[in-house]
Copies of this chain bind each other. A is one copy, B any other.
Amino acid sequence: MAADPLSRVFSALADPTRRDMVARLAVGDATVNELAEPYLVTVQAVSKHLKVLQDAGLVSRSRQAQRRPVHLEAEIFDLMTKWIECYRRQAEERYRRLDDLLRSMPDDVEPTPRPQPRQPRQPLTQPQPLKPPQAGAST
Q: Are A26 and B118 in contact (CB under 8 A)?
A: no
Tell whether A6 is near chain B: CB-to-CB under 8 Å. yes
Q: Are A134 and B40 in contact (CB under 8 A)?
A: yes
Q: Which of A13, A42, A133 has the most CB of B within 10 A?
A: A13
Q: How many copies of the chain does the oligomer comprise? A: 2
Q: Are B16 and A4 in contact (CB under 8 A)?
A: yes
Q: Are B90 and A84 in contact (CB under 8 A)?
A: no
Q: Are B16 and A126 in contact (CB under 8 A)?
A: yes
A20-B128 contact given A15-B7, A74-B87, A90-B27, CB 8 Å threshold: yes
Q: Are A91 and B74 in contact (CB under 8 A)?
A: yes
Selected from B15, B81, B128, the residue in CB contact (under 8 A) with A81 is B81
Whole-angstrom distance between the Cβ of A52 and the nearest chain B Cβ: 11
Q: Are B135 and A26 in contact (CB under 8 A)?
A: no
